[in-house]
Amino acid sequence: MMTKLTSRVMATTLVTALAGVGLTLPAAGATGSVTAPLHDKAHSKALQGHVDVVLKTGTVGVVARSTGPRGTRYASAGVADKATGEAARAGDLFRIASTTKTFVATVVLQLVGEGRLSLDDTVEHWLPGVVSGHGNDGSAIAVRQLLQHTSGLFDYTADFPEFASTAGYQADRYTTWSPEQLVAIATKHGPNFTPGDGWSYSNTNYVLAGMIIEKATGHSWQQEVTARVIRPLGLRDTLAPTTYPRMIGRHLRGYSSFDEDRAPIDVTDINPTAAGAAGAMISTTADLTRFYQALLGSRLLHPAELAAMKTTVRAPELDPGWPGVRYGLGLMEIPLSCGGTYYSHGGDMPGYTTRNGVSEDGRRTVVLNATGDGSADSSTQQAANSLIDDELCT
């Protein structure tokens, strides 16, 4: 998920996965590694150079994967675990945070395509009484507005101690939160604007979307994402966890100081209910690639639903991180320096930064994850943007 905490990296007010299954990915050396055909060494060197730049902006470990006409390239730098010094490797798992939102939006749109719900349905229709009080009115908010962040609902993570401080994290990292509890935190606050009259990133929207999936199907959002996306695509390293706080297998450990004047602590373990349908998932660069290739390649949604997902509005709140960005239904649309745009969904939570980019046809895809807080200015964000833009433009 994207969080208020990580806005210093994003330079925004945000709070906060999937190809190549079965590949044996190369181990990284202490300063990183690249695997590519001999004829593509120059492009591989460029990718490694970008990854090294991201590392130098204050991150701990960085992994990246780029797929396009020249094949697939991997690069990594830094360490997966500060305690052991183990190098980051291209196949390591990581928390994808708000990149989860694209999965959840995909499932909602599949249900729309099946006629089981409508984007024009209200929140009140599916979840009577859940969004009410302090000027909040679920009968005035459509499902489309949840997915597009035009509902006006307050972002619960802006009033959530677990993401706000070291003490808050240590006290609540193993706490199980219900979606209703997270929504209740949000509805203690009035809305930011009348539904449809503005744009503001709110994790509350996707918590509600997950609740609607369960109401419409009788299954949790995790079960539906697994059955409809993870299993059909063979994403063997992608998880939609429920309450288990740890990652199993080789993974990148996350570190954060929570913007406090103190050394970062290990924040890898966290009960995923704190993020829920807004950002709980775990994946790898390879699996995220496969997911975005399938999605933009029209293998997960019917044409009408994919067109709805790609119908975007301006999201000026995100301009400091992505100038000119637009937002659809669980997808960001970002200008390319070489002309045109690419689709994406960033993800931030304490200790983890996920960035990605995919061409409109899904044939060119870049996925990056960095651990640690990154720089206090915007240099980490700029370095990640530059990596993605360069890979998609060359």
Q: Check the CA dihedral 11-13-14-19 and report its sign.
A: negative
Helix (H, G, I), strand (E, B) or coil at 312: coil
The candidate with the shortest Cα–Cα distance to 138, out of 155, 124, 128, is 124
Beta bridge partners of 33: none
Farthest-apart Cα atoms in the chain, separation: 62
* Rounded (5°) CA angle 164-322-68: 115
Exactly one of 44, 66, 98, 359 is catalytic; which is it?
98
User: In this structure, which long-range contacts are made by residues 159-163, counting pairs with CB atoms below 8 Å and at least 24 apart in sequence?
Assistant: 159/185, 159/186, 159/188, 159/189, 160/15, 160/185, 160/274, 162/270, 162/274, 163/3, 163/4, 163/5, 163/15, 163/258, 163/274, 163/349, 163/350
What is the helix, strand, coil percentage profile of the chain, to 5? 35, 20, 45
214: nearest Cα among 107, 304, 306, 296: 107
3-state secondary structure of 199: coil
191 three-class SS = coil
Whether 98 sits among the annotated catalytic residues: the reply is yes
At which residue do the structure tokens 């210093």 appear?
8
Residues in the chain: 394
- Rounded CA-CA distance 390/394 in Å is 6
Residues marked active site are found at 98
